Amino acid sequence: MERADVAVIGAGIVGLSAAWRLAEAGQDVVVLEQFDLGHDRGSSHGATRIFRFAYDDPVYVRLAQEALPLWRELERATGRSLLKITGGIDVGDPAYLEASSTALRACGARAQHLGHKACRDRFPWLNVGEDGCVFSPDTGVIAANDALQAAAAAARAAGARIVDASPVERLEAGDDEVTIVAGGHEIRARRCVVAAGAWVAELLEPLGIGLPVRVTREQVFYFRSDDRVLPFIHRGALARYGVPIFGGARGVKIAEHGTGEWTSADDRSFEPDPEGSARVIAYVREVLPSFDPEPIAVETCLYTTTPDEGFVIDARGPVVIASTCSGHGFKFAPIVGELISRIVSKREQPLPLEPFSMARFA
């Protein structure tokens, strides 16, 4: 039997960030991953993610602001370039744009609201008709695969042990201790962080913890373009987004947000959805006319979405739940890791945690 201060279940970006911050704070940490590190079955793989302050809720604006210096700390710790600030735009739904501008300014962040003509003149590669946009200079691109490897390296350098190919077979929680059997090994820890992505609800259910999430299989496409594209989110009848080439991406990433079929973590398909593929290609032809409309690559991933698309960062006894999910969590991983570390050590938090409580679903 192995003992640890903290066991982290899940070696995606959130679990590894938690392990890094916990180990940096002096905790003895073991991370358990059911597959190989960096696998493509969950939500943390792929070349790129958008980083942005631009939200319509000040809670998430502030969370992103707190994440930025920790991304830079991770870069310094590992000697890797992980986050490139490029500026980016939100376009479409006027109510969202107004709310986003208000939230950004309330948090001291910069925002420039542009009418449709100014948006068209400044970003001629994006054909959005009469829609205006909000330009946020603090938006950028994360090299996601590199970030995952960097978080693993930083966690190990701080003393955390990462054990992959070790699916959890049993999870039991007492008043002040957790017992985990994984990969044939028994581990007892004072605290357990469950950062298991699409597997989170089924791991928590035997503990009497109900997490209301749905799992969907999403897909993203990569296209050729010679334009200098900025990260963008287009909020229309469907929400779509684009991410420039960075971190080894084969092309510009274009995808829909949250339109995938309901599934489960273990039963999901890896095959592209023809109807969704056709919609994205038609969107590229109309809105990104300078692009080659034939995708050069496609990937699938999982969304784990709460009813309000917000995060869960909460504790029940010795179990800490980290479901920073709903298709927009990657950018926040370092600060979420820090919040988890402070929950475990009962240190003062840099931000209120009430917005992330499970109590809101009661």
Q: How many residues does the chain have?
A: 362
pLDDT in tens, 116-142: 999 999 999 999 999 999 999 999 999
| Mean pLDDT of all residues in 270-295 | 97
Q: Could you tell me which residues come within 8 angstroms of residue 296 by beta carbon, excluding any fewer than 6 positions away?
A: 222, 223, 224, 250, 251
- Please determine, for residue 223, whether its predicted confidence score (pLDDT) is greater than 90: yes
The pLDDT value given to residue 199:
98
The pLDDT value given to residue 292:
98
Which parts of the chain are beta strand (E)? 2-9, 29-32, 48-51, 83-85, 88-92, 112-114, 133-136, 140-143, 161-163, 168-173, 178-182, 185-194, 214-223, 232-235, 239-243, 252-256, 261-262, 297-305, 312-316, 319-323
Q: Predicted confidence band at 185 (pLDDT cuts at 50, 70, 90)?
A: confident
Contact between 53 and 107 (Cβ < 8 Å): yes
Q: Predicted confidence band at 163 (pLDDT cuts at 50, 70, 90)?
A: very high
pTM comes to 0.97
What percentage of the chain reaches a pLDDT higher than 90?
Answer: 99
| Mean pLDDT of all residues in 209-225 | 98
Domains of the chain, CATH where assigned: 2-361 (3.50.50.60)
- Please determine, for residue 165, whether its predicted confidence score (pLDDT) is greater than 90: yes
| Mean pLDDT of all residues in 174-185 | 94
Query: What are the b/e assignments for 348-362, b being 16+ CB within 10 Å?
Result: eeebeeebbbbeeee
- What DSSP assignment string belongs to 27-62? --EEEE-SS-TT-SSSSS-SSEEEE----SSHHHHH
Rg (CA), the chain: 20
Contacts by 281-285 with C-beta closer than 8 Å and gap 24+?
281/221, 283/240, 283/254, 284/223, 284/254
Q: Could you tell me which residues come within 8 angstroms of residue 275 by beta carbon, excluding any fewer than 6 positions away?
A: none
The pLDDT value given to residue 78:
98
pLDDT in tens, 24-44: 999 999 999 999 999 999 999
- Please determine, for residue 184, whether its predicted confidence score (pLDDT) is greater than 90: no
- Please determine, for residue 45, whether its predicted confidence score (pLDDT) is greater than 90: yes
∠ at Cα 243 (241, 244), nearest 5°? 150
The pLDDT value given to residue 25:
98
